[in-house]
Structure 1
Amino acid sequence: MEIFSDAFFVRALIGGILIGITAPLMGIFLVLRRLSMIGDTLAHVSIAGVALGFLINVYPVGVGLVFAVLASFAIERLRKAYKTYAELSIAVIMSGGVALATFLFTLGKGFNINVYSYLFGSIYTLDRLDLWMVAGVALLVIAVVLLNFKELFLMFFDEDAAAVSGLPLRFYNIMITVLTALVISVAIKIVGALLVSSLITIPVAASLVVARSFRHSVVMAVLFSELAVIGGLILAGVANLAPGATVVLLLIAILMMALVLRKGLRIW
């Protein structure tokens, strides 16, 4: 295909593949913690950082990353303050992120069109710096998950047992939230802030339908994510479609097929 000879498409494909690995890796732990909506929250905060980056003429993805990381610490702080109503932390930070982004939009009318590209994704505009940023975050996430897989498995399936065994639960909770913030902040230019949460949750939802174990669910989540990312980007490139939306629609199709397959196997 001609699209594979274009440098911008190759960069987009590499960036998509890297995010296709890291997003479900974080998603599996967020879903188990019942924090599926944290992706939307951090994405909105990151967009506020992107808007500020354009306003002060500093690398937008970098500023968005800083905002997302700070928001992740704030979420953990609020979750500790509202132990009985931990989901309040997500609602509060999301409200603040949306309000701040809207405020910055009104200050910088000249760059709003650039910010909108981060809302809906602009994977074909990835440059080398963006790609290096995505690669760095991907390597960090993969390394942390591989080195702490047993500890994370124990913590998310039996937190009481993990505490008794001496695991630093607060450290691991903050670590997962910060890594999620990093993934989201570098992914918004690929799939857009409005869709990035889908890449975190939908592959995991599909994997939980067909997986036979926790390890199997992790592998299947990454596999489903990569199938949707690679297939969606190729389809979007050939048919001139919106790449982020195409990827998410393919993810939904995979989820539907997984549900139908499970139902069929039960009937059989």
Structure 2
Amino acid sequence: MLNYSFMQNALFVSVFISVLCPCIGVFLVLRRYSMIGDTLSHASLAGITIGLMLNQNPVLGAFVFTSICGALIEFLRTYFQKYTDLILSIVLALSVGTAITIISSGKLHANADSFMFGSILTVTRFDMIMVVVLSVISVLALIFLYHQMLYIAYDEEAAKVAGVRVKLINYVFSILVASAISVSIRIVGVLVLSSMIALPVATALQLGKGFKATLLFSILFSVIDIMLGLFVSFYLNVAPGGFTALVSVAVLVLVLLAKRIQAGIREIR
């Protein structure tokens, strides 16, 4: 299987995805913003269609448009402070409406279906370069802003009082989310991309560890999910995105069962 160049490319991209997505996802989940990941993953479809229509790289188009939508979400929070779900509905309507309008216009120079479901056949060398660049920049930004983002994740108001530049960091974080989504889109696909951001974190949270341990276990579960999804989907001849989502749910269920069994054993003792 690894003799195929497209599988080598897919494996290379998957390694970066499995590290980057949970690093972003853990902050989204702690802030109870996991649905932002879902909204922006759908926004990326509009970016893809714009890129294809302009004969540009669709991953780059996804990154640019998703970054704009992420910044728009943060901007609208000023006007809808108590209605986060309403902000997401506005951005979702904008992005999905844009995507459907462009697709139905017949002006696309390629088929966007592979981006919706994920395809290991479509990963190009240029995509690999973009994945490396965006992933390295994102991880470095996370390391540099780690303490501020952790503070904001647990108490945004207290972070403001402490002098943390919350609004600026939130804008930067929106771009980081856009980066994680755009690098993942080739393999995972638009429709299930949010599961790669949230589910490994949800699984790691069941272990009841501290933040750093939760982050490390999130990455571990993400590697398991994506690698299993990639390899097994190849032999089953199904879309890797959907199957990876099923693997993520299965791993979460197994951890929940193991946790319940462990609790039962403790009660017996």
Query: Is TM (by shorter chain) over 0.5?
Result: yes
* Cα contact 2:206–2:256 (8 A) shared by 1: yes
SS at match of 1:216: helix
1:28-68 residue CA offsets vs partner (Å, 9 max, x unmatched): 11111111111221122221121122222122221221111
Please give the alpha-carbon distance, in whole angstroms, between the structure 2 residues aligned to 1:111 and 1:202: 34
- Structure 1, 47-56 or 202-211: larger mean CA deviation: 47-56
5 Å-filtered alignment, 1:255-266, equals 255-266=252-263
**In structure 2, which of residues 62, 65, 89 is the aligned counterpart of residue 64 of structure 1?**
62
**Which residue is 2:87 aligned to?**
89
* Cα contact 2:135–2:179 (8 A) shared by 1: no
**Which residue is 1:188 aligned to?**
185
Please give the alpha-carbon distance, in whole angstroms, between the structure 2 residues aligned to 1:211 and 1:4: 37
Please give the alpha-carbon distance, in whole angstroms, between the structure 2 residues aligned to 1:17 and 1:108: 35
**Which residue is 1:53 aligned to?**
51
* Cα contact 1:151–1:167 (8 A) shared by 2: yes
- Give the fraction of aligned pairs with identical amino acids, expressed as a percent: 33
State TM-score, norm by structure 1.
0.94
Please give the alpha-carbon distance, in whole angstroms, between the structure 1 residues aligned to 2:220 and 2:89: 31
**In structure 2, which of residues 93, 98, 104 is the aligned counterpart of residue 100 of structure 1?**
98
* Cα contact 2:53–2:108 (8 A) shared by 1: no
Query: 1:138: how far off?
Result: 1.1
Please give the alpha-carbon distance, in whole angstroms, between the structure 2 residues aligned to 1:215 and 1:178: 23
**In structure 1, which of residues 154, 158, 174 is the aligned counterpart of residue 155 of structure 2?**
158
* Cα contact 2:149–2:169 (8 A) shared by 1: yes
Number of equivalent positions: 265
Query: 1:198: how far off?
Result: 0.6
Please give the alpha-carbon distance, in whole angstroms, between the structure 2 residues aligned to 1:59 and 1:162: 38
SS at match of 1:24: helix
5 Å-filtered alignment, 1:96-175, equals 96-108=94-106, 111=109, 114-175=111-172
Please give the alpha-carbon distance, in whole angstroms, between the structure 1 residues aligned to 2:22 and 2:80: 27
1:77-120 residue CA offsets vs partner (Å, 9 max, x unmatched): 111211111221111101111111110011126646x2111111
Please give the alpha-carbon distance, in whole angstroms, between the structure 1 residues aligned to 2:96 and 2:238: 28
Please give the alpha-carbon distance, in whole angstroms, between the structure 1 residues aligned to 2:134 and 2:217: 21
Letter aligned with residue 32 of structure 1: L
Letter aligned with residue 151 of structure 2: L
**Which residue is 1:198 aligned to?**
195
Distance change in 2, residues 1:24/1:83 (3 Å): same
Please give the alpha-carbon distance, in whole angstroms, between the structure 2 residues aligned to 1:93 and 1:79: 12
**Which residue is 2:71 aligned to?**
73
Please give the alpha-carbon distance, in whole angstroms, between the structure 1 residues aligned to 2:242 and 2:84: 31
1:160-185 residue CA offsets vs partner (Å, 9 max, x unmatched): 33222211011111111111011112
Letter aligned with residue 49 of structure 2: A
Please give the alpha-carbon distance, in whole angstroms, between the structure 1 residues aligned to 2:158 and 2:22: 25
**Which residue is 2:237 aligned to?**
240
Letter aligned with residue 96 of structure 1: L
* Cα contact 2:55–2:109 (8 A) shared by 1: no
Q: Where in structure 2 are there 5+ consecutive unaligned residues?
A: none
* Cα contact 2:49–2:108 (8 A) shared by 1: no
State TM-score, norm by structure 2.
0.94
1:43 aligns with 2:8: no
- Greater percentage in helix: 1
Query: 1:159: how far off?
Result: 2.3
**Which residue is 1:222 aligned to?**
219
1:231 aligns with 2:228: yes
